[in-house]
Amino acid sequence: MVDNNEIAVIGVGAMNLDYICRVGETVEDGEAMIIQFVPSPGGSAANTIYGLARLGIGVGFIGAVGNDAEGKRLVRSFKTAGVDTSHICVKSGTKTGLAFCFSDRKGRRAIYLLPGANDLLLEKDIDTAYLNCAQIVHFSSFASDQQFHLQIETARNLADHVKLSLAPGMLYASKGLKSLAPLLERSDIVFLNREEVRLLTGKDFKVGAEALLSTGCQTVVVTLGKGIARKGGIRLSSYIRTRDAEHLVTTTAIQAKDVESTGAGDAFACGFLFGTLKEKPPDKCGLLGDIVARFVVSAPGGRTGFPTLKQLSRAYLKCTGKPL
């Protein structure tokens, strides 16, 4: 067990076993061949926390699994990486959450959730004193409203010194700004992709980021998928808006044509939060996010490709000419 004083980041979110299916194309009404099938531990905040553990950060997690083989696998994956699992609840009589992820060569994805034990995470399972030991608490979405409202109440109970990081995903973005406002107004960092910004605000990423800042959050980080091409082979990979400035994070890395992107956003959040803990400026946090995301999409599954600190340091030095 990790000493609470050594924990820098604690995640709160769904814990799922992902079944990642690569298909030639996604279909609305028809049949398609599965090219590759990879079961992998998952859950958005869970992936981010796993990645931070790989980088040597002290981390913990609050979530729920069933008393089944899948739940044991998720807990074992965390323990192997060094995550504190003492606050993960095992719910008897129910199955661990599952996510069925279908992605094709054109980058289109469809994800279907079976929440299982995630729907049984209760107020009594949230140890506020434990959360208040952390520097950062990182939230990602649950499928059910009960846990959404539980997170709102949990955010209100966080100590002032604890930063809240939020990755709402499509599930929470679809609720709209008014419903999400109680979380946004307490959030120090909000992570979204371009589609989620449009869904949440009805605006493109730059104007949408401004709308999000008006709710009270401090920093909006927007990932741009394959990026936006610019002159000289440079690609805009993410956009960061703080109350004081905007930051355009660019890369010259070549984007592979056939990428399985499950977990890329979670990996980006991992790199960004790592940079935040190391007191890097926002643009360098964004660069670290981009680097970690590129590691993750290079391997199947949402966790296989997470780098070690040595690998990240080497990649950062190559990009910036400066040590991490």
* pLDDT tens digits for range 104-132: 877 777 889 999 999 999 999 999 999 99
Nearest to 220 by CA among 232, 211, 231: 211
pLDDT at 175 over 60: yes
Which pLDDT does position 3 carry in this prediction?
62
pLDDT at 99 over 90: yes
Residue for token pair 């109350």: 243
Report how far residue 127's alpha carbon sits from residue 249's, in angstroms, rounded to the nearest whole number.
Answer: 37
Helices (runs of H) and strands (runs of E) counted in the chain:
11, 13
Nearest to 53 by CA among 98, 103, 101, 10: 10
pLDDT at 2 over 90: no
The CATH class of the 4-27+34-320 domain is alpha beta
pLDDT at 158 over 60: yes
Structure tokens at 134: 């952390």
Instruction: Summarize pLDDT for 50-60 with one digit per residue, the tens.
Output: 999 999 999 99
Instruction: Summarize pLDDT for 26-52 with one digit per residue, the tens.
Output: 777 778 888 888 889 999 999 999 999
Which residue has better confidence, 257 or 23?
23
Q: What is the mean pLDDT of residues 6-34?
A: 89
Nearest to 92 by CA among 113, 73, 114, 64: 64
Alpha helices for 174-254 (secondary structure H): 177-184, 194-201, 205-213
Instruction: Summarize pLDDT for 271-307 with one digit per residue, the tens.
Output: 999 999 999 999 999 999 999 999 998 887 778 899 9
pLDDT at 230 over 80: no
> 14 with 43: CB under 8 angstroms?
yes
End-to-end CA distance of the chain: 28
Q: Is residue 63 very low, low, confident or very high in pLDDT (cuts 50, 70, 90)? A: very high
Q: Is residue 248 very low, low, confident or very high in pLDDT (cuts 50, 70, 90)? A: very high
pLDDT at 102 over 90: no
> 154 with 126: CB under 8 angstroms?
yes
Antiparallel, parallel or unpaired: β 97-103 and 88-91: unpaired
Which residue has better confidence, 256 or 208?
208
Residue 116 exposed, middle or buried by CB count within 10 Å (0-12, 13-18, 19+) = buried
Report how far residue 56's alpha carbon sits from residue 257's, in angstroms, rounded to the nearest whole number.
Answer: 32
Which pLDDT does position 133 carry in this prediction?
96
Which pLDDT does position 58 carry in this prediction?
98
Give the global pTM: 0.94
Q: What is the mean pLDDT of residues 255-268?
A: 74
Which pLDDT does position 55 carry in this prediction?
98
Question: What backbone torsions phi and psi does residue 207 show, to the nearest 5 degrees?
Answer: -70, -35
- CA 139 from centre of chain: 8
Which pLDDT does position 253 carry in this prediction?
61
pLDDT at 155 over 80: yes
Residue 115 carries which side chain, given as an amino acid letter?
P
Nearest to 229 by CA among 197, 203, 251, 198: 251
- The dihedral built from the CA positions of residue 32, 35, 294 and 142, taken in this order, carries a sign that is positive
Instruction: Summarize pLDDT for 185-203 with one digit per residue, the tens.
Output: 999 999 999 999 999 999 9
